Amino acid sequence: MAKTKVREVTVVESKGTFNIFSKSAIKKSDFDFNGLSALRNLLTNEKARILHVIKNEKPCSIYDLAKKLGRTFKSISDDLKLLERFGFIEFTKEKTKNRVRHKPEVVVDTVTVHIKL
């Protein structure tokens, strides 16, 4: 049986605001935004669609992913950077002729969100 990778995101109420941090090797200082809006930005329908396409259609590059989703390279690249930063995806470098492709791969099976009040 394959090992399941779980990403835990914790949102904590602190002095009337919510702060977001993750239980992982990523330090809290690595995050540059706070609150539930941060969680909304991370877990949008569009990012879920990106993860679905990466997992099921296995695009060979960021450009290929952008074509499959009908979006611009820049917008997909920005979303992928955020997903990579929080550990949802990783890039595999593949050399083709004179270029290096960055193939996105989903590395998380489950996302658990905890909200502490």
**What would the pLDDT profile of 59-92 be if each residue is shown by its tens digit?**
999 999 999 999 999 999 999 998 888 888 999 9
List pLDDT tens digits, range 29-42: 444 345 566 677 78
Amino acid residing at 72: T
pTM, entire model: 0.72
Per-residue pLDDT reduced to its tens digit, 91-110: 999 998 889 999 999 998 88
CA distance 37 to 61: 29
**Mode of pairing for the β-strands spanning 6-14 and 110-116:** parallel
Strands (E), 1-117: 6-14, 17-22, 89-96, 99-106, 110-116
Instruction: Please say whether the structural domain 6-116 has been given the CATH code 1.10.10.10.
Output: yes
Between 57 and 4, name the one with better pLDDT.
Answer: 57
Angstrom distance (rounded) from CA 38 to CA 52? 21
Are the beta carbons of 93 and 100 closer than 8 angstroms? yes
**Domain regions of the chain by residue span:** 6-116
Greater confidence, 69 or 12?
69
pLDDT on residue 113: 74
Assign 13 a pLDDT band (cuts: 50, 70, 90). Answer: low
How confident is the model at residue 78, as a pLDDT? 93
